[in-house]
Amino acid sequence: DKDIDLGVLAGGNIGNIGDQFANKGRAYGVDIALQTVLPSPFSPTLSAVWQDVGSTAFSKTDGTDAPPRIRDNLSFGFSSSLDLPGIDLVGALEYRHATESEYQFGQKVHLGAEVSLPIIDLRGGISQGYASYGLGFNFLFLRFDVAQYTEEMGAYAGQSPQQRLQGGISIDLGFDADFNLTDKDGKRRKLKQRR
């Protein structure tokens, strides 16, 4: 979100409005994260993440003003997984913006589940009170993912929803001590190697 001064809008000079988006700055932020996996067949995992500890302030490097401060964000998470022959199940819950009262409870809660089959991963959940869906699959060393979700742009859930579609392609390459290609589990890939 970018706030524009009312004086700039009232002046009606399009150049002044554009200058508001030319503001650049430099800042250094600190994030702290803790995670623990409890010993259990369901691998319960607890996490806490504090992003931009104490908030992150910018010093101006270009433009009329420094970019706005990034407020800190404290989040808590829980997940559990079950590995079965041919299928893996994962469930997760996340509570974001724990210390901020401006967000309603529905905007802070995110929960989801993933079913991993040998060829495809199916995902579903609720983010900010809206349904979300996704799928992913691997092909050789490539990973393809797509997700559909809704982001609430208003002050409360249901006020101003915006649909989002996100896609991604990632590469998973690894090498063992003999420089042979391996997958993420350390198993040797059955790819023809060039010498």
pLDDT, one tens digit per residue, over 35-80 is 999 998 899 999 999 999 988 889 888 888 888 888 999 999 999 9
Per-residue pLDDT, 190: 39
Comparing 115-119, 136-140, 157-161, the range with the smallest average pLDDT is 157-161
Question: Distance between CA atoms of 9 and 124, rounded to whole angstroms?
Answer: 42
* CA dist list (Å): 124 to 73, 89, 94, 114, 163: 24, 12, 14, 7, 15
Q: Which carries the bigger pLDDT value, residue 195 or residue 118?
A: 118
Domain assignments of the chain as residue spans, ordered by start: 6-182
User: Which pLDDT band, with edges at 50, 70 and 90, does 90 fall under?
Assistant: very high
Average pLDDT of the segment spanning 170-176: 81
Per-residue pLDDT, 107: 85
Average pLDDT of the segment spanning 3-21: 55
User: Which pLDDT band, with edges at 50, 70 and 90, does 173 fall under?
Assistant: confident
Q: Which carries the bigger pLDDT value, residue 78 or residue 156?
A: 78
Per-residue pLDDT, 194: 36
Question: How much helix, strand and coil, in percent to the nearest 5, is found in the chain?
Answer: 10, 50, 40
Does position 12 have pLDDT exceeding 60, yes or no? no
Does position 14 have pLDDT exceeding 70, yes or no? no
Per-residue pLDDT, 94: 95
What is the pTM assigned to this prediction?
0.68
Of 61, 58, 81, which is closest to residue 71 (Cα–Cα)? 58
Per-residue pLDDT, 131: 92
Average pLDDT of the segment spanning 98-127: 90
